[in-house]
Structure 1
Amino acid sequence: MSNRMVSNVRRENFSLEFVNDELPSFPPPDDFPVCVDENGSVLARFCDDSWPMQQWLRKSCAFTFGMKTSKRSRPWLTQGESYLFRLLLILIMWVTPDRMEPSTLQSRYNNIKRIFRFCSNNKISVADLHRYPQLVLEFTAAISKFAANYIYIFRTIYEYEGLLGFKILNSAQIYDLYCVSRKNHSTQTPYIPSRLSNLHLVRSLELIRDYKRSSAAFEGLFDYVWQEYQANNKGWVRGSKFISPFSSRASRNLIYRGPFEQVAEEYGVKDVLDKWMFGSARRPCRGMTVSTLSSFFGAISLVGATCIASMSGMRRGEINELRVDCFDVAELDGETVYVLRGETTKTIKDDDARWITCEDVRDVIAAMSSVAKLRMKVAIALGVSHEEGEVDNPYLVLRSYEPWSTGYSEAIAIPTSVRKSIDAISLDAQCPSLFLPGDLIITDDDFKEALKVNPDLNVKRFAVGKDWVFAFHQFRRTLMVNACHSQQVSPQSLQYQLKHLYLSMSMYYGRNASALAFNSKVRDEYISTAYESMGRTIMDLKSPNFVSPISTVHKERAVNFLEAKALKQLVAQAKKGMTFIKETIQGVCLSTEPCEYGSADYVLACKNCVSGLASKENLPVITRVNHWLESQLEHAPQEGPRKDALLAQHEYTQHLINVILVEE
């Protein structure tokens, strides 16, 4: 090829790009350095079966190509097929013109691997798949829900057939796959039912505050343990094992400080460790050892990260980039707003600078920062590669570098810039007592609530009687739905803080009420979810839950625009301003015009409004308004406009309560 073949994967370390940024030829020579480390040393060449990809993906990960035995599998590809697999990765990384994010590259690798795995299982070459129409149909059926992810791969290979010397699918088969992708819309992220969402936050914040109250003791204990490890391991070199000062099996020449459990009690933290790592655990736990301290610190980091996701809407990757100084308090338009900001995003104009959050996150950041600073101290002492700015301002989530942790030897070999993978599915394993036995079992009410928000919910995975499995993207989705529909969130212990958060999100994401730049992706998702929530409420108008204060015929006329309308159509109409719905004390108002009476807080304005409907779910609200009116009437003057207004409103609330809302 005459054109330069320059890497199209976005990488932050430009010095590394200089080493293998340009491909000399296609196919490349066997010794082409695909992977290099921060010092320019070659980690893997094109001919190797395993490519360590941490410098490409900014996390610990390897691309393997099926020829050698690994921890998880035996060899499953021939030498020829493995070569084609590697060649396709080179094509996507260097030859195609499309720029891609590291996460996209990993997704492409996983999809290509699935294609090769399918062909290997059916004992055919990947280059011959198009010759077997029945197998093509079988593969298409297997990936039908994710068909859109494969179209790019098959289309790219087809377009570069002249360069590669083979194709996998022909154009007609790719078109058939496209048709399948159109039929299978993507399943929306599950919404966490309010009981489980609130339980997660209540328990998580209890853990965080337990640590905060004893943070000085934990920090002192950590420093003591690290000091004793250093004393016991003078002259340690990388690759050798550390000898624990809490092991009675240590030789005579080494220090033995007694069992760790006794030391933890002396520092006053044993009860906290017992409570969260052993007490009421949903699975058996071993006795307390020094590694328990490391596991507990890992629990603080992971649980804290899920709290941030729940109360800011940040994605997992965004949380992973936060530094310990990320929490800010801003005064905007006379209001206090709590904000999280990224590591390199301190300018007002930066689009990705800030995420709105709530005051509870201050404690979360404080606890996570305490752990991060302790671990960073050890990382520096053990020679872990890091940037200068991390010494005083480390990442909020770090690996377990302390030598009493499981897997520390692997951790210290990875630069801090290669971020640690965090996954909410590990909550139970990392903190065994975060939830009590039975806490996460999905009830009938949980299921109905989740299904109402997500009609396409995977009912097998999230069935009644099964444990709810958390994921980071669920926290974001749940926050957006609750913030856009906050009037229907049931009162919980966290309601005040969450209400303040929802109000801030509405002000600064929904109305863009400040010149301060907030994260555009989360703002767009907030607005999209607001329209979706509006659409779902509109669809519900035909149910018996909504009644007309005027007559049954009036309701039928008010909602006749819903005939044969799907949710997507209603959302589209809402975005265009053709359909509108706003919540009132009575229920909802469908008028697209501003209400001159301020119907959000003046119920009498709805009495003769042809655009208003009452909701039976608002009965508690209307009842409270009715009681308030009665209390005001008791102290109102005998005559005058104020008493007339109060009487008129009281008469109408009585009408709603006694005649419409409680009518069967």
Structure 2
Amino acid sequence: MPSMVFAGLNIVTATVSPSDVNFMPSSWPPAPDFPICISTEGEITARYGDNEWDLTPWAGFVLKLNFGESKRKKSGDISPENSEIFKRIVAFWIYGPNPCREIRTLVSQYENFRQVFTYCTKNNIVATDLYRFPKVIESFSKVVWPSQARHLIVLLHTLWERREHSGVYILDAKGIAELQSKIPAHEKSQTAYIPPRIWLYQLSRLRDFLEDFRSNLGALEACAEYCLQAYALNAGSVGAACSQQLTKYNLPFVSLSNPALKSKLFSGHQFGPFYITAENFGILDLLEKWCGDVRHNGVTILSQYFSMASNIGKAYLLNFTLMRIDETSSLRSDCLVIEKDKITKEDIYLLRGSTNKTVEDDEACWITSPSSNMAIEVMNSVSKFRTRCASFNSNISLTEEDKQNPFLALRAYEPWRRSTRFDTAPDIRCHELHYSMFLSRYPRLFDTNELKIQEGDLAGALLITPTLSPAKYAVGKIWPLAWHQLRRTGAVNMSASGIVSDPSVQYQLKHASRAMTRYYGNGYYHLNANLNQEAQAEYIRAMYESVARSFSALNTSTFVSPHGEKRKDQILNLVSAKDHNKLVKAAKDGAIGYREILLGACANPMPCPYGGIDYVGRCGGGDGKPPCLDLLIDKGKKQQILKLRDVLQKRSRDAEDGSPFHISIKYQLQAVESVLDVIKNS
């Protein structure tokens, strides 16, 4: 029996109890035939002695941990001796003290440690002897993934401390210290912020696709149902059509020139080439617009179009939330919730779902835009049809929730899909398609010329993320779209007062930014919903960075103090404008402040009792006192200030002499004239 400190299987998605055969091994290391993973149907998918553990039932997507010869060339092989050691370590993470609770944690640790075993195998060393080879440790330090080095050191140290329980370790304390000293420092870079022009372009194309789908929703659903019944007729029943692949001799949609149609073996009803069916339902031009040649691809293009709708729907939702891509995959058809704010009385649109980041967030919510309803409507149409096809499949057992409230994004279950698998249940999620792969997978979606980086794009991106790699981000290169960029860009757009000045960006965000800013920033307690904490943290980080960036930008000659350069230097010298991290920390500590106001910027970190956003009398010294010490006038706003003067002069003529309103306008006019004099003389 393993030591009493062993906790037993604790992966939350494994849903095991102490009486289950895979809860705890009876010996250590476990016997080769000990079952590691068992599906809900009772099938053993991984035994300890296997060179590949299939942990798909725990992961919810196809997941196999390989301990031997790799199927991927770049991954490297592991020798049999090292394979046994590696399996014992991973089993220790599953069953030992403080075992992994999340499958993603286990996978992260596995992937981090695998580089140790492939490197030792490459150098003909048993991993447990690595501590005896300081030269190999030194050479290994040069190939360790820099971003994972710190985590690897922690894992090695924990294994060393618990060597008496696991019976194995890789490096002792001296070896770990040696490796740590040789690993180069990792320079962390923030996720890139998508420039407004490129962000707007990709969003507009996603929206065009969804609007086209929704405009043709009835025709698409009718065509899909017609095709399903055609397959059912040739297969003998709709169940047979959805449960097995038809042969080429009974396919309903076959080209008239296809030899199979003229064969004596052909036994099916013939509905003609699919493009004729598509034309009859009025969707031929639609499919060719987004997917290409219908005549060449046949009915499979309908599956391609439906899968494209699911992926584009997820991309659209990511543009208007702070979700991760895997979190959008957990959304079900009833995810959209509309709450009435008790204080403002406005409708707040929420997406409710689960997040794998923390156990507590199984019912997390994300603020979103009302326009997200369009994406959900499109995705629901595809999901409803695919769930219906899956319900006819005798190889799949659907839960009641899968039938009544299916996932928004599902793999293809229709009989004409290209996949030959007919037994994959909906809870086994598809591998996520990287956003950058949209360019090759959906070549008609984006124009690569529109995604090429222009000088203004690069300047804006570097302002937000100065550490961008010149190798990837340069004028003329295609912007490398990534899912997390959408999250980062959304957070910055919400919080970056004055940074994102493109009017069209503001227009696109008008439905989402105000509510998201308020509720992620400080007003979330008004809602009954449990807002996702990671999304809130992402927004808050961007908020403080926005203050730091804006404060740093005050150092340019565009901003002047009405009290002269000496006062401006006093404001800006609180923290070195070149040290971004110190500026962020100062923003968090409240040592610096930045608020965009009508006349420029206010550097007062404390709330202003006089306004400044819609009243400038005190800011510019229109009440007879000197201008505010924290005011920095933005010379770039001269035209706006001139327009403000025109508005104030008009209101002054309409106001009653001597009234409080007239006096207020008088003070503001005097302040504006004073500010214009400063701009003129600077």
Are 2:578 and 1:568 equivalent residues in the alignment? no
Q: 1:34 to 1:12 in 2, by over 3 A?
A: closer
Distance 2:295 2:648 in 1: 61
Q: 1:440 to 1:74 in 2, by over 3 A?
A: closer
Deviation at 1:202, TM superposition (A): 1.1
Deviation at 1:62, TM superposition (A): 1.2
Give 5+ residue unaligned stretches, structure 1.
Answer: 280-284
1:449 aligned to which of 456, 460, 473: 460
Question: What residue in structure 2 maps to residue 402 of structure 1?
Answer: 414
Question: What residue in structure 2 maps to residue 191 of structure 1?
Answer: 193
SS at match of 1:391: helix
Q: 1:563 to 1:82 in 2, by over 3 A?
A: closer
CA contact (8 A) 2:594 2:602 kept: yes
Distance 1:176 1:627 in 2: 71
1:289 aligned to which of 287, 293, 298: 298
Distance 1:497 1:523 in 2: 21
- More displaced 10-residue stretch of structure 1: 600-609 or 173-182: 173-182
1:255 aligned to which of 266, 269, 276: 269
Distance 1:308 1:181 in 2: 40
Deviation at 1:494, TM superposition (A): 5.5
Q: 1:398 to 1:510 in 2, by over 3 A?
A: same
CA contact (8 A) 2:387 2:406 kept: yes
Counterparts in 2 of 1:465-614, with a 5 A limit? 465-493=476-504, 495-512=506-523, 513-516=525-528, 517-563=530-576, 566-607=579-620, 608-614=627-633
Distance 1:560 1:632 in 2: 40
1:389 aligned to which of 401, 417, 432: 401
Question: What residue in structure 2 maps to residue 282 of structure 1?
Answer: none
Distance 2:115 2:556 in 1: 45
Matched to 1:254, the amino acid is G
CA contact (8 A) 1:548 1:614 kept: yes
Deviation at 1:152, TM superposition (A): 2.8
Distance 1:563 1:481 in 2: 23
Matched to 1:482, the amino acid is N
> Cα RMSD between the aligned structures?
3.0
Distance 1:506 1:585 in 2: 21
The number of residue pairs the alignment matches comes to 652
1:421 aligned to which of 409, 431, 437: 431
CA contact (8 A) 1:30 1:46 kept: yes
Matched to 2:410, the amino acid is L
Q: If the length of structure 2 is used for normalisation, what is the TM-score?
A: 0.88
Deviation at 1:223, TM superposition (A): 0.8
Q: 1:351 to 1:405 in 2, by over 3 A?
A: closer
SS at match of 1:371: helix
Matched to 2:22, the amino acid is N
Distance 1:405 1:199 in 2: 31
Distance 2:131 2:437 in 1: 40
Distance 1:173 1:471 in 2: 38
CA contact (8 A) 2:354 2:363 kept: no
SS at match of 2:296: coil
CA contact (8 A) 2:92 2:99 kept: no
- More displaced 10-residue stretch of structure 1: 627-636 or 103-112: 627-636
Question: What residue in structure 1 maps to residue 366 of structure 2?
Answer: 355
Q: 1:570 to 1:422 in 2, by over 3 A?
A: same
Question: What residue in structure 2 maps to residue 125 of structure 1?
Answer: 126
Question: What residue in structure 1 maps to residue 376 of structure 2?
Answer: 365
Question: What residue in structure 1 maps to residue 135 of structure 2?
Answer: 134
Distance 1:95 1:201 in 2: 47
Are 2:503 and 1:462 equivalent residues in the alignment? no
- More displaced 10-residue stretch of structure 1: 429-438 or 357-366: 429-438
Deviation at 1:326, TM superposition (A): 0.9
Counterparts in 2 of 1:583-662, with a 5 A limit? 583-607=596-620, 608-619=627-638, 621-632=640-651, 642=661, 645-646=664-665, 648-650=667-669, 652-653=671-672, 656=675, 659-660=678-679
- More displaced 10-residue stretch of structure 1: 42-51 or 130-139: 130-139
User: 1:439-491 CA distances to partner (integer Å, 9 max, x unpaired)?
Assistant: 21122222222222112223322233222222221111111111011433233
Counterparts in 2 of 1:264-413, with a 5 A limit? 264-278=278-292, 287-332=296-341, 333=343, 334-342=345-353, 352-383=363-394, 384-407=396-419, 409-410=420-421, 412-413=422-423
SS at match of 1:543: coil
CA contact (8 A) 2:333 2:405 kept: yes
CA contact (8 A) 1:145 1:181 kept: no
Matched to 2:633, the amino acid is A
Matched to 1:614, the amino acid is I
Deviation at 1:182, TM superposition (A): 9.6
Distance 1:535 1:567 in 2: 7
Q: 1:507 to 1:446 in 2, by over 3 A?
A: same
Q: If the length of structure 1 is used for normalisation, what is the TM-score?
A: 0.90
Q: 1:254 to 1:352 in 2, by over 3 A?
A: closer
Matched to 2:430, the amino acid is K
Matched to 2:552, the amino acid is M
- More displaced 10-residue stretch of structure 1: 571-580 or 333-342: 571-580
Matched to 2:277, the amino acid is V
Question: What residue in structure 1 maps to residue 624 of structure 2?
Answer: none
Matched to 2:555, the amino acid is K
Q: Percent identity?
A: 31
SS at match of 2:142: helix
Distance 1:322 1:450 in 2: 31
Q: 1:303 to 1:631 in 2, by over 3 A?
A: farther
Q: 1:309 to 1:293 in 2, by over 3 A?
A: same
- More displaced 10-residue stretch of structure 1: 414-423 or 180-189: 180-189
Deviation at 1:421, TM superposition (A): 2.3
Q: 1:658 to 1:490 in 2, by over 3 A?
A: same
Deviation at 1:338, TM superposition (A): 1.1
User: 1:350-391 CA distances to partner (integer Å, 9 max, x unpaired)?
Assistant: 784321111110101111111111111111111323321121
SS at match of 1:88: helix
Question: What residue in structure 1 maps to residue 12 of structure 2?
Answer: 10
User: 1:488-507 CA distances to partner (integer Å, 9 max, x unpaired)?
Assistant: 32334463451332211222
User: 1:516-538 CA distances to partner (integer Å, 9 max, x unpaired)?
Assistant: 23222211222222112112222
Question: What residue in structure 2 maps to residue 23 of structure 1?
Answer: 25
Distance 1:120 1:252 in 2: 55
Q: 1:98 to 1:458 in 2, by over 3 A?
A: farther
Question: What residue in structure 2 maps to residue 94 of structure 1?
Answer: 95
Give 5+ residue unaligned stretches, structure 2.
Answer: 621-626
Q: 1:242 to 1:626 in 2, by over 3 A?
A: farther
Q: 1:624 to 1:564 in 2, by over 3 A?
A: closer
